[in-house]
Amino acid sequence: MNVSPVLDRQPLVTVTSDGLYCPPGDFHIDPWRPVARALITHAHGDHARWGSQRYLGTSPSVGLLRKRLGAEANISTLGYGERLKLGDVTVSFHPAGHVLGSAQIRIEHRGEVWVVSGDYKRDPDPTCLPFEPVRCDTFITEATFALPIYRWDDTRLVAQEVLRWWDGNREAGRASVLFCYALGKAQRLLAELARLTDREVLVHGATHALVECYREAGVRMLPTRPVSEMEKGTSYAGALVLAPPSAAGSTWMRRFGEHETGFASGWMRVRGNRRRRGYDRGFVLSDHADWPGLLRTAKETGASRILVTHGSSDTLARYLRENLGLDAAPLSTPFEGETED
Amino acid sequence: MHRLADLYEALDATTSTNAKVEALVGYFRDTPPEDAAWGLFFLTGRRLKRLIPSKALRQWVRELTDTPEWLFDETYAVVGDLAEVIALLLDQTERPAATEELPLSRWMEERVLPLAGLSLPEQRERVTGWWHVLPRRELFLFNKMLTGELRVGVSDTLVVRALAQHAGLPPAAVSHRLMGTWAPSRAFFEQLIAPDVSDGDRSRPYPFYLASPLEQPPAQLGERDAWLVEWKWDGIRGQLIRRQGGVYLWSRGEELITERFPEIAEAAASLPDGTVLDGEVLAYAGGQPLPFSLLQRRIGRQKLTARVLAEAPAAFMAYDLLEQEGQDLRGLPLRERRARLEALLRDRPMFPVSPVITAPTWESLAEARHESRSRNVEGFMIKRLESPYQHGRKRGDWWKWKIDPFTVDAILLYAHPGHGRRASLYTDYTFAVWKGEELLPIAKAYSGLTDEEIARLDRWIRAHTREKFGPVRSVEPLQVFELHFEGIAASPRHKSGIALRFPRIARWRSDKTPRDADSLERLEELLHAPA
Ligand SMILES: [Zn+2]
Ligand SMILES: [Zn+2]
């Protein structure tokens, strides 16, 4: 077992070869290998992995977790804020504002409180509950977009931009193929666009299954139809198609005829990232906290120690330490943040 | 500046050539000429003389945004473009969506250019003041004006095409008028798109005609007799103009280099008025061209002392006559132009005429090509005798048949991030060869790989980094690449003691192991081999 950075007292969460581990509670959080008991912050692939004996997640995420972990997986749920005693500790889930059902995990042990943020954002999102700052002694934060150039615009402005792009392509008789992650980003776009239009949107099969989960959870979105249900020879002129980034450049794209491509991601904030991948348009939209969001959150938790995972962890830890005077250190994990596909 | 920002956005939002031309035509049509002139200035990749040291810009933005230096450097390494990183860092408070419009020409003439005469504190006050009020996209453009090139993914050819379409002129005429130095002004832009084709500027060169590389065997060009063959000179392609009492020597990069070559300028004063020659500036003595490195040494000198002139004497090797007695000859066949050229330059030793190679068949020509290296030339030029003088790289009439480059198998040692759109990829590489058990860097190269290979190599580099030095990474010495280069020279400045000329990547030799890479000794042999 590898133990995480030097800590003065027995840590409530350590990094082991299986994942984040809580010794007094004897459970793992988002383990990357099968374990006896796994607490899951949210249903993204790098957090909810298959094969553990028992899972514990939030009630609103259970549909997504079933999709990811299989029908036989042993999943119990807790509502947000509900407390459960596990071993020597008390755990509870709190909204992280990342995707449907996403949570931070609070762990309390003899008066000491740790919070594992999972992935989170501070911007409003009609598909999930907003992030709730939880006071704690040690906060384990993500750092996917931990550079001061990453700042997100109001999501409604981004949605308007997407709609203008779609309208422009409609006028020119082209299809608009918008790449975005199948879980979270696609549904958020569909929900944001529903404020602006009621047109139907076509979706890739991978996206479709997850859109259905969101509908079952009561999220209001634009009507959708899977591309696979379209007749052969259908014209896609004027259509908006949502697809996961892995579909870019595949033969699946051939059916769309004349089209423009876009990518909705926080990485699109930097011009070179878009040009290098050859997308026509980049829309800056992320389900992760931006730089001000990360800093603000670190302060709001009141934590006396911050551990940083995901992405630019060294950078954020150093800034918190040197510029905000917080006790902060990187914690190395294989979480991926917002990857390219 | 709104219009330029709109144009920039339109060009940036499409990968289609036609859409780009359309956006450009719209811009030239709807923009007042004094502003369009400045737009054109930036679109053609021209840049202002540096007004503010970039160090100062960095410092100001760090102070304004309270960003520590290490964090700025990390961020800059990710973005790769100073103008963009400044715009992104400043974009943190509520910014105005649009400001009161000040036309581009007034921005340039009333605000940007006058910065030159100001002290740093005064510059700081003005620049940061504008930083506060400019909307994000204009902020980026403004920074680009201060830091250098504002190319927007459009080539000069596209710009010329759009201008020609807008003005209803042939592209060649527009491209001719765009050559050389010009000041972005209303008068210039109006004259640029004016229907009257006779222009007054006596210094203006004709657009160069460029040869295409010959990829097929020369026999496929047909009859040997239809072609004129010359050596491909290894110098600076130039156009020498003698008009209305003046002499102007232009490089192919549209730079006026008359003053760098006083002996050529002096000799040209005796040419008849209304003469334009196309040819090559060479280091040249005793009727023989000297190695390019001599010419290079001379270009590098700040001051042309008598000693420099004596060490690297220059001459203009002429191979075409574009204008005679003020008449544009470009429409005449090469056969005719060549005859006139020879007659004109008889007995003028400063203007040797590029000799014609008489080898009567393609086979005998291939034989003669082996002499190229010993003659300090790069191979052959093959020109169709009946062809007019075209412009740009129009295929079919002029071919260059270059000798094969030197090759070396070298090991990737360091990776450097690229610039601009490639800033987040490792695209520049340092290569090394063996000296005993040690690896010595011999060349830096960045071109030659496909985008797909660059992406693959980028991933490999990230996974096999040994050390980071700022933005540079040293990698495990495992990957072998075949490099091509055009020449080699001794260089005490380099640890390896040699410098390669035009090194580039020919292919990624994944079939080779590091032990298969070449040694420094082999390169040193090339150095000592007869030139
Ligand atoms: Zn996630
Ligand atoms: Zn994640």
Sheet with A224-226, edge to edge strand ranges: A224-226, A201-203, A240-243, A175-179, A259-264, A281-283
β pairing state of A201-203 and A224-226: parallel
In B, which residues are within 8 Å of A149 by CB distance? 75, 78-79, 85, 88-89
Q: In what order do the strands lie in the sheet with A138-143?
A: A84-86, A89-95, A103-109, A112-116, A138-143, A305-311, A327-330
Residues near B196 by Cβ (< 8 Å), separated by ≥ 6?
A: none
Name the percent of chain B in helix, strand, coil, to the closest 5: 40, 25, 35
Of A249, A247, A242, the residue nearest A227 (C-alpha): A242
pLDDT tens readout for residues A227-273: 999 988 889 999 999 999 888 878 899 899 999 999 999 999 998 88
Best probe of the A interface among B22, B88, B426, by most A CBs < 10 A, is B88
Interface size between A and B, measured as CB pairs under 8 A: 60
pLDDT of residue A7: 46
Q: DSSP state, B218?
A: G
Annotate B441-497 with DSSP letters as a single string: EEEEE--S--HHHHHHHHHHHHHTEEEEETTEEEE-TT-EEEEEESEEEE-TTSTTS
Q: Which residues pair with B22 in a beta bridge?
A: none
Separation between Cα atoms, residue A176 and residue A261, nearest integer Å: 6
pLDDT in tens, A53-81: 999 999 999 999 999 998 899 999 999 99
Q: Poorest-confidence range of A103-112, A145-154, B446-455?
A: B446-455
Q: How many CB atoms lie within 10 A of CB B70?
A: 12
Q: What percent of chain A has pLDDT over 90?
A: 81
Instruction: Determine, for residues B14 and A271 on separate chains, whether the beta-carbon distance falls below 8 Å.
Output: no
Which residues are registered as beta bridge partners of B380? Answer: B231, B401
Which pLDDT value is given to residue A199? 96
Contact B75 A275 (CB under 8 A): no
* CATH code of the domain made up of B406-528: 2.40.50.140
Q: Which CATH class is domain B209-402?
A: alpha beta
Report how far residue B469's alpha carbon sits from residue B186's, in angstroms, rounded to the nearest whole number. Answer: 49
Model pLDDT, residue B213: 87
* Residues written for chain B: 531
- The CA distance from B504 to B517, in Å, is 16
Cβ of residue B203 closer than 8 Å to a chain A Cβ = no
Q: Would you say residue A336 has pLDDT above 70?
A: no
Contact, B57 vs B114, CB < 8 A? Answer: no
Give me the domains of chain A, ranges plus CATH numbers. Answer: 14-149+288-330 (3.60.15.10), 155-283 (3.40.50.10890)
Closest CA to A120 of A150, A140, A148, A92: A140
- What is the spatial distance between Cα A47 and Cα A333, in angstroms, rounded to a whole number? 11
- Which DSSP symbol is given to B272? P
Could you give the angle at the alpha carbon of B449 between the alpha carbons of B445 and B454, nearest 5°?
95
Instruction: Give pLDDT, residue A5.
Output: 44
pLDDT (0 to 100) of residue A2: 40
Q: What is the mean pLDDT of chain A?
A: 92
Question: DSSP letter at B108?
Answer: I
**Cβ neighbours around A235 below 10 Å, total:** 11
pLDDT at A9 over 70: no
Listed in sequence order, the residues at least 6 apart from A185 whose beta carbon sits closer than 8 Å to its beta carbon are: A264, A265, A285, A287
Distance from residue A287's CA to the centre of ligand 1 (Å): 8
Does the distance separating the beta carbons of B423 and A151 come in below 8 Å? no
Distances (CA, A) of B172 to B51, B336, B389: 34, 22, 12
Q: Would you list the domain boundaries of chain B? A: 1-147, 209-402, 406-528
Question: B83 Cβ partners below 8 Å, 6+ apart?
Answer: B140, B143, B144, B146, B147
Let me know if B512 is a catalytic residue: no
3-class secondary-structure state, position A49: coil
**Spatial separation of the C-alpha atoms in residues B123 and A57, rounded to whole Å:** 57
Structure confidence at residue A282 (pLDDT): 92
B282-291 pLDDT tens trace = 999 888 888 7
Predicted pLDDT of residue B393: 80
Distance CA B418, CA B437 (A): 30
Interchain pair A315, B85: CB under 8 A: no
Contact yes or no for A35/A18 (Cβ under 8 A): yes
CA distance A61 to A31: 17
Structure tokens at B339: 């005859």
Q: Which of B14, B70, B79 sits opposite A280 (nearest CB)?
A: B14
Helix (H, G, I), strand (E, B) or coil at B428: strand
* DSSP state at residue A228: G
**Could you tell me if B25 and B162 are in contact, meaning their C-beta atoms sit under 8 angstroms apart?**
yes
Q: Hey, what's the torsion of the CAs at B2, B6, B9, B15, to 10 degrees?
A: -150
Q: CA torsion sign, B229 to B231 to B232 to B235?
A: negative
- Residue A116 confidence (pLDDT): 97
Amino acid at residue number A37 = R
Structure tokens at B407: 């090759």
B84 touches chain A (CB under 8 A): yes
Q: How far apart are the first and last CA of chain A?
A: 31
Name every chain B residue with its beta carbon within 8 A of the beta carbon of A260.
14
- The Å distance, Cα A130 to ligand 2 centre, comes to 17
- Which SS3 state, helix, strand or coil, does residue B267 take? helix
10-residue stretch averages of pLDDT, chain B, 531 residues long: 89 83 94 94 85 92 94 90 92 67 90 91 94 87 84 81 89 77 85 68 85 87 93 91 86 81 89 94 88 76 79 92 93 96 91 92 86 81 95 88 86 87 84 92 85 87 86 91 86 86 86 87 75 39
CA distance B258 to B463: 51
Q: Which of A294, A273, A295 is nearest to A282 (CA)?
A: A273
Residues 6+ apart with CB under 8 A from B185: B34, B37
pLDDT at residue number B475:
93
Of B232, B383, B394, B400, which one is the catalytic site residue?
Answer: B232
Q: How confident is the model at residue A194 (pLDDT cuts 50, 70, 90)?
A: very high
B423 shares contact with chain A (CB less than 8 Å) = yes
Which region among A146-150, A197-201, B322-326, B496-500 has the lowest average model confidence (pLDDT)? B496-500
Residue of chain B nearest A274, judged by CA positions: B421
Contact B79 A272 (CB under 8 A): yes
CATH number of B1-147: 1.10.3260.10
